[in-house]
Structure 1
């Protein structure tokens, strides 16, 4: 998953799904290499660095069919459900989604190891567990849970609903909204989620072999899996899983304990006024969320600090100052969710920062992609991006051996180009005929135009992701909103058409970059491209059913889902809807001076990014990320505080014992996230069954408490 995706960076990006960099996976690998009952000796580390394939040269590589085992897909299905619940919960709360690749690879390794150990003791084990099978599991799980993000349940898809359209106040008529239904959601996802896979298949050799693109997330995941399957790596992986299980249990039980105190609105630990009642009113408090503490441990420190800076700038300074202009800049007495009041400033200023950051990074990645592609086409030099070390050095010889073996096996199992081309054309034809039946404002020629341009954009996204680890799926989706929405027109359901077009485009370019990442992982673990493609297809198919069902569970269990003050407010759904409204209506409906502030912060996001890229290197690492700063503008500071607590825990741990922090930090964080995510499932079932918590723990000021006491005891 390793979600991210510019707004959803799979690696160094950050997002509406803020997927963190995979740096910590590389650190974890380093920790693995350094440890053997504590620390590895230097000779073992040197051997591992010089040649990975030398370690595995005596192990037979299974055929691509043998890599696709029933047990792998059973485990993938179970983990896919778990991770879909986690991603869905994050989608509907903060929109910040960490990379779950590490957890997928680690838990996949653990479950299959338990499975094979049991069969081995009973004498029934026939097929040993290989790193190729581990790669298939990781690919399938990430593809499954990835649909929970790219399916738009927290963004464009939910933005079509009546719940969100009522909050927008403009363009909320019937032709610009669509009632959510499990049937058409599953059908829509099956139509749009596969075509991106076919668009990038013919380019796999160019991306991986000829241009040697890095794909940092895919490379890091491959190193992790390779490390697991060395004798030392397997030993450390068991310790990591033990830590993950310990904190998973703690997180689950903590969520269960908190549930007892949430019998009403603003009840429980999630409403604990940690910094006082006045700060709580402006959403400055620690809500004891194990999920966000875990997310904070996974995300880089700069992202967490950026979130806190954005929270202080908006809820600490801007919104209180704008609220003093009530009655001058906007009408007094408006509800907190009315976009003509303070809510309009919160939403549209956040959109301005998001668009400014997205535009800058779009131009940056496209420019870098074009320059590097032109160099390679001109020089016809496959080593332009990753030049090898001195050819006489041991490193070069090892790299040569690894590259030869990997290239040989990567090219062995070809995926026919006619299959990719035919699959693309057939799916495009089906989509052009069926999507207008689901979304009446979206015409067949709109869909046709999207599919004509999509392969080029999918290539650009996959290539740029290989260079920078940034996927710009959300940016391409926003471009589709503006283009198709304006083409369809406001009076012809342009808002709904734009949101549907966003879904089509995002799924195409997102799955294209995801599959390219998986090809890189498979290349480095000797997993066949065919097994990678098949596991991605199966994982996507599972996700098209699992994710809508998980979303439907949340949707039916919580009556206030999608409303601003709800536990599951789905903040980016309103953002996406308002982007679509801007695309068809323009800016005339914004509150007074809102547009001016938007212009200033739009330019500010571009300037901050430029400073990060071109400023003195010793200072740029301290400059906050505009996209991360924008997220609390609408949501508030509470989750940023949680994440900073997680970041502080990891920082202190690294100061005390960096080796252990690098090796076990991701496992502890994953346990906190997974445990809380598991609890979301039984809590939803309890809500559906009408079982309510027995206690309301609420905090009152002294004066209010006196009034309550007098009322209860006259």
Structure 2
């Protein structure tokens, strides 16, 4: 049976009849390439900063799409008002621009700048082991070479996706929900009614942006020292502040909370409450009985419980979902075979139930498809180059390690991860990459195994993320009559941008972090919570956790049982369509506060509360404008971060330090000291 609508449904493509359809170079234009660089830089910087602080980052597909459309539409209008001839801004050029930006942002998140690359440093290694082996530490990765590796690993994911395009989109007719939603958004923007909607969204975005950056500038004046400003306001009292439970007045986190699903946000808050309010105080009371180290960040002490309980939740949920989704995949294949559904493209073209839109889309898609042989040859060539470049940067991993992964394991992971994303919109690439990390580290099992495992993990994460995102974009291209060759050109251009600007952004953050502490350390403004998880898995794989504190594995086993129980209840409730499914959080969300603390959970939950109240007051307005407002809040706070950092580099410090002290003796001592200062 066809997954298509009947001819009686409103046609999208008929509304675009008569509009010009430029060739390849009419869509891959200098103006879209220039705008792509600007927004790729902005969203990559914002995403990397969020990931370094929180360890979780939301999708920016919708905000970036709105900004891309408005910017190029406004540029075309401006040129025409100035009497300069400008080609019309088509939805196909919009797809190229959007694809370039999102690909760069996706690579920024997957390139390890907040995870496995930080996990290689000595500062993070010493936080998990008092005397790490020198072979398991890489202090400074040469960013020029690493940018080259990013390019090859990302291109490998694109090449691996090409042979699967017709199978995923045409034969099995997978929806790829995010790609479909973006396509509907682009189609609506480029109709007369869509232009009006876009204006409303842009006005909301500009207002939120202005408010966010104004608030950030105001806060800056009160941060003239360590632990100063509104970001350290003890919202719920000084005792809870010591446990990192407070609201830090961050507009970007509140905006991100409006994008992230409610169940995730309240899961984060729940995890912060049980970790900081129940488990950690209990473990602190066992000091001297279960552990004796004075180092709060060593795996031999309380940090061992924190890291491995959080790690257990993340890995257990990942494996559980991997098994579940693989079962769905196999059952789906079985059902298609049982129904004798060949699903070939020619059959679809001839099928009488196809409406006008589907026929037009299939015609454009098949006339401009990329030959499978191109993807296969590209995979072999790029894989060989990747296997040569990687040991050139990280000598701990060998050519044959990478070659075996590319030939045996990666193709299976590419297919299954992309197929699952098409069914559920849920990529489990982080689980696959942790499996690769475990395999390589356990295989080598000697000094250098930790770095080798992290490198292999990085190759898997970059290529898998790019591959499934590329298929989402091709689904967008299919629904907007965009040539697959134009979409792949957008991917390649986005990868090229990413391999240049993302290492520079990382170096910028690394230089700025030196004031408070190196990247990945708990005192740093960029604690990179996920980095400890990756290194802990590598240590576990090589048998480096023999000195864990007493009862640590008991807590881990309890955590495994609870995770499996919660995930099973959540899965059953979804299958039975119980209402309780909307209130069961994923265990990964609960695990994050175990690793980084509960501070940001207040902001995320507040974002959900704001959106819920807005929806209750005006559901239509919230649905139409919430993404734009969230984008404005996130971008405003993120953009101010750049000039504030530059002010710091030029020794321009805020004039005021606002701090909070307990009443009684601490306040009296502060008053006594202040009275000795001159006016």
TM-score, normalised to structure 1, is 0.89
Q: Which position in structure 2 is the counterpart of 1:566?
A: 524
Asked whether 1:490 is paired with 2:446, we answer yes
TM-superposed CA distance for 1:250, in Å, is 1.5
Asked whether 1:464 is paired with 2:433, we answer no
TM-superposed CA distance for 1:430, in Å, is 1.3
Alignment of 1:514-525 (within 5 A): 514-525=469-480
Secondary structure at the aligned position of 1:273 is classed as coil
CA contact (8 A) 2:418 2:467 kept: yes
Q: Which position in structure 2 is the counterpart of 1:258?
A: 219
Alignment of 1:399-478 (within 5 A): 400-452=355-407, 453-478=409-434
**Cα distance 1:375–1:171, how it changes in 2: closer, same or farther (>3 A)?**
farther
Alignment of 1:6-405 (within 5 A): 50-169=10-129, 172-180=132-140, 181-331=142-292, 334-381=294-341, 400-405=355-360
Secondary structure at the aligned position of 1:114 is classed as helix
Alignment of 1:549-628 (within 5 A): 549-559=504-514, 560=517, 561-585=519-543, 587-615=545-573, 617-628=578-589
Q: Provide the C-alpha distance between the structure 1 equivalents of 2:7 and 2:25, rounded to a whole number of angstroms.
A: 31
Alignment of 1:661-672 (within 5 A): 661-672=622-633
Q: Provide the C-alpha distance between the structure 2 equivalents of 1:209 and 1:67, rounded to a whole number of angstroms.
A: 24
Q: Which position in structure 1 is the counterpart of 2:3?
A: none
Secondary structure at the aligned position of 1:490 is classed as coil
Q: 2:459 aligns with which of 476, 487, 504?
A: 504
TM-superposed CA distance for 1:486, in Å, is 0.9
TM-superposed CA distance for 1:412, in Å, is 0.9
CA contact (8 A) 2:296 2:303 kept: yes
Asked whether 1:680 is paired with 2:641, we answer yes
Q: Which position in structure 1 is the counterpart of 2:601?
A: 640
Aligned length: 657
CA contact (8 A) 2:7 2:355 kept: no
Q: 1:692 aligns with which of 628, 653, 659?
A: 653
Q: 2:662 aligns with which of 695, 698, 701?
A: 701
TM-superposed CA distance for 1:338, in Å, is 2.2
Q: Provide the C-alpha distance between the structure 2 equivalents of 1:215 and 1:283, rounded to a whole number of angstroms.
A: 39
TM-superposed CA distance for 1:373, in Å, is 2.4
Q: Which position in structure 1 is the counterpart of 2:620?
A: 659
Q: 2:436 aligns with which of 480, 483, 505?
A: 480
Q: Provide the C-alpha distance between the structure 1 equivalents of 2:219 and 2:342, rounded to a whole number of angstroms.
A: 56
Q: Provide the C-alpha distance between the structure 2 equivalents of 1:173 and 1:127, rounded to a whole number of angstroms.
A: 60
Q: Provide the C-alpha distance between the structure 2 equivalents of 1:380 and 1:404, rounded to a whole number of angstroms.
A: 23
Q: Provide the C-alpha distance between the structure 2 equivalents of 1:378 and 1:155, rounded to a whole number of angstroms.
A: 44
TM-superposed CA distance for 1:171, in Å, is 6.7
Q: Provide the C-alpha distance between the structure 1 equivalents of 2:170 and 2:136, rounded to a whole number of angstroms.
A: 46
CA contact (8 A) 2:433 2:458 kept: yes
Task: Kindly provide the CA deviation profile for residues 562-586 of structure 1, in whole angstroms up to 9, marking residues without a partner as x.
Answer: 2102221111111111111111115
Secondary structure at the aligned position of 1:621 is classed as helix
**Cα distance 1:189–1:273, how it changes in 2: closer, same or farther (>3 A)?**
same
TM-superposed CA distance for 1:383, in Å, is 7.0
Q: Which position in structure 2 is the counterpart of 1:26?
A: none
TM-superposed CA distance for 1:97, in Å, is 0.9
- 5+ residue gaps, structure 1, are 1-45
Q: Provide the C-alpha distance between the structure 2 equivalents of 1:185 and 1:477, rounded to a whole number of angstroms.
A: 18
Worse overlay, 82-91 or 257-266: 257-266
Secondary structure at the aligned position of 1:470 is classed as coil
Q: Provide the C-alpha distance between the structure 2 equivalents of 1:382 and 1:234, rounded to a whole number of angstroms.
A: 41
**Cα distance 1:339–1:157, how it changes in 2: closer, same or farther (>3 A)?**
same
Q: Provide the C-alpha distance between the structure 1 equivalents of 2:9 and 2:70, rounded to a whole number of angstroms.
A: 25
TM-superposed CA distance for 1:125, in Å, is 2.8
Q: Provide the C-alpha distance between the structure 2 equivalents of 1:575 and 1:691, rounded to a whole number of angstroms.
A: 36
CA contact (8 A) 2:254 2:607 kept: yes
TM-score, normalised to structure 2, is 0.94
TM-superposed CA distance for 1:433, in Å, is 1.9
